[in-house]
Structure 1
């Protein structure tokens, strides 16, 4: 296949992975916690995915991370995956609908801008408008019957978004391993933390997860943790950063649609209004990036 034709197909596949696969992981988690204890499921997922990615990178000749790099990756893995993804998993286990969880996590760019102030970042007027609009969206989301029925779930999903954002900003200033090796180390550390949390909290597997439970686990490991991440890295190298991060606009809609169609979830007027407001806020925040970025030169 000619390179010119293969390149667009890779782009299409990568965007599909970010938009659809990452959007579908919320429903996959919702299905998985029916047979897996929540912390154990997240811990097993990242332990397996991290092991596969770590072994692959070492096979490709990536250097063994130093102790300093392991510590940095461990802190980011704890914030993004153990607290972030683990918080989402616990929130869904507490009764938060998968689509509503995705809407709350869509607020990550808002928290990212706020935490960036700690490192001296200055936000534009448009970005401040996006932050304020996003806070309105979060308020609307909490007025919905879904989060009101589960106050603990509401707190967990907002906590997950905040820790993911804080870890994302902090990661820019830490000596992480290069390339996908950083993600592999983060997954391994997060997997260990989540499994320890599962043990301490007394989680037990009372029955076999069954075929559906193992299929969900395989989907989260292979597609949610490895394929989607690799696609994200590919897009960062071949398109503008604002385009690569545009999944923030699409994932909530995908998660809501899949939850309604396949899990019988109901999204009320407050959640629907919150989706429109939060996505509009994220678009506002992304506008300066689109304006500043130059088109990628084609070879």
Structure 2
């Protein structure tokens, strides 16, 4: 969930990246936050929304590859924690520089909400994906994260708000594509524990996305994003220390590729991708934002095949086509509703 994903996002995020990746509450409108920027008018989808969505599509799709390269020589939770702490501090600095330190102010309740969402998206959604990618190929991790819509539909139904028929049909089509895409990967060639970790990550990412649309977050969405990344990053470092990842740690053994991948994840996966995702949660229909969960796997599988020589078979090609069709169904449905 590239804030993974799960990384991903993650996110988003921050995940994330995806990371976990969703049809979080299809059809719901963003909840205004007192004192913050006015969300995009729900009656139309602007160019800014499409630009941010494209960033989440492409950047978070690539974070699965970046995570896989990072964990080749770096410990999972410590590297993920360092990534989000660095990105959170950078984002906070940018917000203070452009809008003044007053833009970083938030009520205790808003900070608490940001911390909760950060733990769900960054630590749970993204962190578990990072851990899973120590044994699961990047493309398969992205494909499993695409199951996020299923969990969000469950959450939505549990609150008594059922998705429109066409949106539900798009989700079902996406899940059918997921079944085709993952059929070769679950034949015993990867660890079941890794697969279950990604599934758990997708559930936590769904819950974080769902919660973000309901809670009172800091008025400035970028301030909220910074707090979420800092909270998830600090928690990731704590979990890494509890797992003993610091024992025998030798930074000189980290490969150049891992360092470069970590830098990419900080600047693009976290700072750009996760921030775009958090902004979209307030500025666009959540069901439209959720379509990244279908596109990210296509990007991740393509990059995994091209750069890491991960298998590219006919089920992946066919499943990818089905996933794209699901995106078209969901997006077209949302545009007709507006």
TM-score (norm 1): 0.83
User: Do structure 1's residue 99 and structure 2's residue 139 form an aligned pair?
Assistant: yes
Aligned equivalents of 2:267, 2:258: Cα separation in 1: 14
What is aligned with 2:115?
74
User: Do structure 1's residue 286 and structure 2's residue 321 form an aligned pair?
Assistant: no
Q: Which protein shows a greater Rg?
A: 1
Higher helix share: 1
> Does the aligned pair in 1 maintain the 2:139–2:297 contact within 8 Å?
yes
Q: Residues 210 and 175 of structure 1: is their aligned pair in 2 closer, same or farther, counting only changes over 3 Å?
A: same
> Does the aligned pair in 2 maintain the 1:46–1:187 contact within 8 Å?
yes
1:84 pairs with 122, 125, 128, which one? 125
Aligned equivalents of 2:155, 2:283: Cα separation in 1: 28
User: Do structure 1's residue 29 and structure 2's residue 67 form an aligned pair?
Assistant: yes
2:168 pairs with 128, 150, 153, which one? 128
Of 49-58 and 111-120, more deviation after overlay is shown by 111-120
Aligned equivalents of 2:174, 2:288: Cα separation in 1: 20
> Does the aligned pair in 1 maintain the 2:95–2:223 contact within 8 Å?
yes
TM-score (norm 2): 0.74
> Does the aligned pair in 1 maintain the 2:213–2:282 contact within 8 Å?
no
Aligned equivalents of 1:194, 1:68: Cα separation in 2: 22
> Does the aligned pair in 2 maintain the 1:103–1:278 contact within 8 Å?
no
What is aligned with 1:202?
244
User: Do structure 1's residue 50 and structure 2's residue 88 form an aligned pair?
Assistant: yes
What is aligned with 1:154?
195
Residue-by-residue CA offset, 1:182-222 (whole Å, 9 max, x unaligned): 11000000001111110111113244224322211111111
Aligned length: 285
Residue-by-residue CA offset, 1:83-115 (whole Å, 9 max, x unaligned): 111111111112x11111112222323322221
Tell me the secondary structure at the aligned position of residue 213 of structure 2. Answer: helix
Query: RMSD of aligned C-alpha atoms?
Result: 3.0
Residue-by-residue CA offset, 1:247-281 (whole Å, 9 max, x unaligned): 44432221111101111111445444444444444
CA shift for structure 1 position 235? 7.3
Residue-by-residue CA offset, 1:6-26 (whole Å, 9 max, x unaligned): xx9989975663333221111
CA shift for structure 1 position 77? 0.6
User: Do structure 1's residue 266 and structure 2's residue 311 form an aligned pair?
Assistant: yes
Of 281-290 and 112-121, more deviation after overlay is shown by 281-290
Tell me the secondary structure at the aligned position of residue 70 of structure 1. Answer: helix
Aligned equivalents of 2:226, 2:292: Cα separation in 1: 22
